[in-house]
Amino acid sequence: MSVNKRTKQGTDNPVLKTVGNIFDKVQLTKLLIHTLKELGYNTAAGALQEESGGIQVESNVVQRLFGYIKQGKYEVISFDLLNSLSLRTTNHDSANNGKKVFTDRDTSININDIISSDLDVVAITANFDTQYKMFYDFYTNTTFNTVSLNRFRNILEIMILINKHFFTELIYEVKDLPNAVLFLRSIIRKYLTLWDTVLTGLQTNIIDEDIVFTPEKVLKELSSILTMPEVVIKKNNSTNDDDCTETQIWTGSVKNSRQELIEKISFYINPNDLVPQGRLIELLRQAIKYQRSCNSFNLFDDEIDVDYSQDDPVTLLQNNISDFERINFVEQKTLASNMDEIWYLEFSPNGKYLAAAIANSVSDRKVTVYDVENDFSVFKVLRGNSQCILYLSFSEDSKYLVTCPFNEHTNIYDITADGETIELNVEKGGFPQNSRRSSLEGGKKEKSTIETQVLGPIDSFCIPISSPKAQERSGNSMHSAGNETYNTSSPYSDTQSPSSAPDSTISSRAATDNLIEQTENSLRSWCCDWFHTEKHAGKLVIGSPDRDVVIYDTKTRSIIYQFSRNWNLRSRRASSSAYRSSHDSDNNNALRRMPRETQAGTVVNTLMDEQFPRIHDLKISQDDNYLLLMTHQGSINVFNISNLPTNDELKGLDSSILSNHYFKMETKLKIGKNITCISLPMPSCENYGRLSSLVLVNLQHNELQLWDYKENILIQKYFGQKQEQFIIRSCFGFDNKLVVSGSEDGKVYIWDRLKGNILGVLMGHANDRLPTRSGSNARKFSKNCNVVGWNPNNKFMFASGGDDGLIKIWKVVKD
């Protein structure tokens, strides 16, 4: 240890005040002595103490106080003694609960191990009473500023801790219940009242419910000990098993509980007088963490914080900078069986399936589900969407898949069901003018056919327009639920024969025309998400750019809630009040303004102004408490949906009960630019608890932003990727340490989530292009990478999809 060597040089030369010109020599020696003691080298510690000229880890006052506590001499603890303690200047609200002490209790302090159980109860009580008077006099006779009042509060809190401890000793050790009651009534109560006054004087707001050390809670705790001591002990033992360091009232023996008291008090004491426990270890941990963070390409061994085990190969003798453990990304597989551009793909929550939607407007088999574990073979093909699919979403149990086509019914599939078996032509794929594939397939130049199953939707529905006029026209055709037999209700099912792919082009086109007539009275559905928790299983939320969001229950096959209806009620109230208030403020300087000008700024269209926003993307938080709606105006509305009735509650109720339900809008993230996509962190990693309120947004002009939707703050920005006009989607990955996004130049960009630096740019979809589609209108083909998706169950795997019709599977490796 280099530090050690330096100190030895320092002790050779006592004139040198500081070591290495940075550190105070006395402090360093204290730290060393303390660490030596902690390691069990008591003789060496004594020798060092002697050689350094009697530097003491604990100051005299601290030693005296701790000695008194150890011996149970509470009668000599006085206000003057406590007042001479040098205390920490920082606020202790968080320090005194929740800090974890991880050193061995028995070796930490050994001033005096004599434990005397003989307490002079009368003398102690008398002493505490006189000390209270001193406290009180001091409090009334001194004019405090904030600093000195804080100091007084800390001394008082130490005194209360000692009092509290003495009280528990009375009950559990001496078993002198009458005296304990008397003590609680006559003395502790006085202290607590004084403490309460001091706290009000400081205007400390105790917001955090978890803080145990407040006057009310201490009083409650002590009186509950008085009534039923055994129960309290039991309760505290059980909390100990959970390894949370709450206030432990009685540890079983006098020695332990006094040690506990000393540890509690030591949080108050200035570190110059008492080195905090495990200080050197803490410093070393921080140093190693820093060294590792220097290598920005090393994201692998942050595990030091997670399992800090003995056999952890952490070396202290050299810097922990490893250049060889760089993060890198390699292409694992290319899936080329898709016939057109990939606009959306998603892994199922259990990581077993990968669903991809193509933009082909010819075939109606637009969604392909791949089996991830079986080398990405085609698992199922889903038919029944004649228009391009914008969005897919897997249910939490990975059984159902919902698709949102352009302007059609939203379809729900059960991907575990059996469908009609067909032979899928991999090479030609049913797309006649596709010669490009042969080059990609490499050796397999012959047509290879594989057997797969085609599934129809089990349920299909659309969102009715909520305005009454439209409902009249649409009549009862607005909701066409599917039957048990697959999709007989869908208008195109009878014209569609699954085994004849070329014919389907014509019939699906004809079907599309029918469909337009039918869906003119419904809203488009552009995005959806399932509820995650068991209590809401089977429900999903669908968002529409036609100003609506609905909650759909797949069990009852009905729309149980429509956001826009209650929004109108709310906004009308809000806008009328806003109108009034703006009017009021105008009245003040109405004379100075031109009447026309005031009018121009004011909102004239009170019925239209606060319309429900157009929703382009939505997500439900993992705990089903928040619904995030991405609007087209560059904001994210966060709704609190925790009061939505659960499935069990809904069973007994009429569904109309929800029509007056009101969800509160918690926050509105004003992002200000056009957003194309939002995504939430992966729930499957260990650090999810801290990150659960993050949301990643793609902005239209070459930017990604990371927000915290509970705090409503911007956390990080990510640059480099290209995004001007297209909808590009992004995701979190690799235990949420990375942020991945597609780009308009066909590459996949990967950033460090925390630091925002680019870790990788993958040439995913930049090379290959589809041939121009037949027709006179030549389209300018771009080469976007539209979507990326991370496997929730395998943190090393992710997929990207682009305009070239390829899905690429990538793997994270150590280089």
User: Which phi and psi (to 5°) does residue 304 adopt?
Assistant: -55, -35
- Indicate the residue among 496 and 525 with the shorter CB distance to other proteins: 525
Site residues (vs other proteins, CB under 8 A): 341, 343, 361, 387-388, 390, 406-407, 465, 467, 469-470, 512, 516, 520, 524, 545-546, 599-605, 608-609, 614, 632, 674, 676, 700, 725-728, 744, 776-782, 784, 786, 803
- Which of 250/461 has CB closer to other proteins? 461
Q: Which is nearer to other proteins, 540 or 727 (CB)?
A: 727
Handedness of CA 687, 692, 693, 695 (dihedral sign): positive
CA–CA separation, 771 and 357 (whole Å): 19
Q: Give least dist CB 562 to other proteins, A.
A: 16
- Angle at which helices 60-71 and 254-266 cross, to 10°: 150
User: Nearer to other proteins by C-beta: 315 or 774?
Assistant: 774
Rank residues 145 and 605 by Cβ distance to other proteins and give the closer one: 605
Task: State how far the Cα of 733 lies from the Cα of 789, in Å rounded to an integer.
Answer: 8
Complex with other proteins: residue 684 or 743, whichever CB lies closer: 743
- Please report how close the Cβ of residue 730 comes to other proteins at its closest, in angstroms: 14
Question: How many CB atoms sit inside 10 A of residue 63's CB?
Answer: 17
Considering beta carbons, is residue 36 or 727 the nearer one to other proteins?
Answer: 727
Least separation in angstroms between CB 769 and other proteins: 10
Shortest Å distance, C-beta 240 to other proteins: 56
Spatial separation of the C-alpha atoms in residues 184 and 256, rounded to whole Å: 23
Q: Read off the tokens for 302.
A: 């942050």
Which tokens sit at 764?
Answer: 């995913």
Q: How far is CA 267 from the centre of its chain?
A: 30
Rg of the chain taking only CA atoms, in angstroms? 35
Instruction: Report the distance separating Cα 392 and Cα 409, nearest Å.
Output: 13
At its nearest, how many Å lie between other proteins and the CB of residue 518?
13
Q: Are 277 and 38 in contact (CB under 8 A)?
A: yes
Query: Minimum Å distance from CB 521 to other proteins?
Result: 10
Give me the amino acid identity at 328: N
| Pick 215 or 613: Cβ nearer other proteins | 613
369 neighbors 357 (Cβ within 8 angstroms): no
Least separation in angstroms between residue 221's CB and other proteins is: 59
- Residue 797 beta carbon to other proteins: minimum distance, rounded to whole angstroms: 23
Minimum distance, C-beta of residue 673 to other proteins, in the bound complex (Å): 11
Report yes or no: 528 and 410 within 8 Å, Cβ to Cβ: yes
**Residue 380 Cβ, how far from other proteins at the closest point, in Å?**
24
How far is the C-alpha of 746 from the C-alpha of 800, rounded, in Å?
10
- The single-letter DSSP state of residue 173 is I
Taking the least distance from each CB to other proteins, the nearer of 130 and 725 is 725
Q: Given the complex with other proteins, which of 29 and 519 has the nearer CB atom?
A: 519
Residue with tokens 């609200």: 93
Asked if 80 and 63 touch (Cβ cutoff 8 Å), the reply is: no
Minimum CB distance to other proteins, residue 426 (Å):
24
Give phi and psi for 510, each to the nearest 5. Answer: -60, -40
| 3-class secondary structure per residue, 225-288 | HHHCHHHHHHHHHHHHHCCCCCCCCCCCCHHHHHHHHHHHHHCCECCCCCCCCCHHHHHHHHHH
Please say whether the dihedral angle defined by the alpha carbons of residues 11, 15, 17 and 22, taken in this order, is positive or negative: negative
- How far apart CA 524 and CA 357 sit, in angstroms, is 17
CB of 508 to other proteins, least distance (A): 13
Of 33 and 465, which CB lies nearer to other proteins in the complex structure?
465
Q: Which amino acid is at 414?
A: D
Q: What's the closest the beta carbon of residue 690 comes to other proteins, in angstroms?
A: 32
Q: Nearest approach, Cβ of 775 to other proteins (angstroms)?
A: 9
Of the candidates 156, 120, 118, 161, the one whose C-alpha atom is nearest the C-alpha of residue 136 is 156
Neighbours of 30 (CB within 10 A): 23
**For other proteins, the closer CB: 15 or 594:** 594
Nearest-approach distance from CB 696 to other proteins, in angstroms? 17
Contact (Cβ atoms closer than 8 angstroms) between residue 741 and residue 706: no
Shortest Å, Cβ 478 to other proteins: 15
Q: Which is nearer to other proteins, 469 or 592 (CB)?
A: 469
CB 664 within 8 A of CB 570: no
Query: Long-range contacts: 557-561, Cβ < 8 Å, 24+?
Result: 557/459, 557/461, 557/481, 557/482, 558/479, 558/655, 559/461, 559/463, 559/464, 559/479, 560/650, 560/655, 560/658, 561/644, 561/658, 561/659, 561/661
- Distance separating alpha carbons of residues 697 and 782, to the nearest angstrom: 22
233 within 8 A of 247, measured Cβ to Cβ = no
- Smaller CB separation from other proteins, 147 or 600: 600
Smallest distance from the beta carbon of 726 to other proteins, in angstroms? 4
Beta strands 449-455; 377-382: pairing state: parallel
Give the span between the Cα atoms of 349 and 403, in whole angstroms: 16
> Of 151 and 616, which CB lies nearer to other proteins in the complex structure?
616
When the beta carbons of 419 and 801 are compared against other proteins, the nearer one is 801
Cβ distance to other proteins smaller for residue 351 or 746: 746
Nearer to other proteins, 174 or 470 (CB): 470
Among the listed residues 520, 517, 507, the one whose alpha carbon sits nearest the alpha carbon of residue 386: 507
Beta strands 420-425 and 410-414: pairing type? Answer: unpaired
DSSP 743: B
Residues 6+ apart with CB under 8 A from 416: 399
Q: Kindly tell me the burial class for residue 637, based on how many C-beta atoms sit within 10 Å of its own C-beta (0-12, 13-18, 19 or more).
A: buried
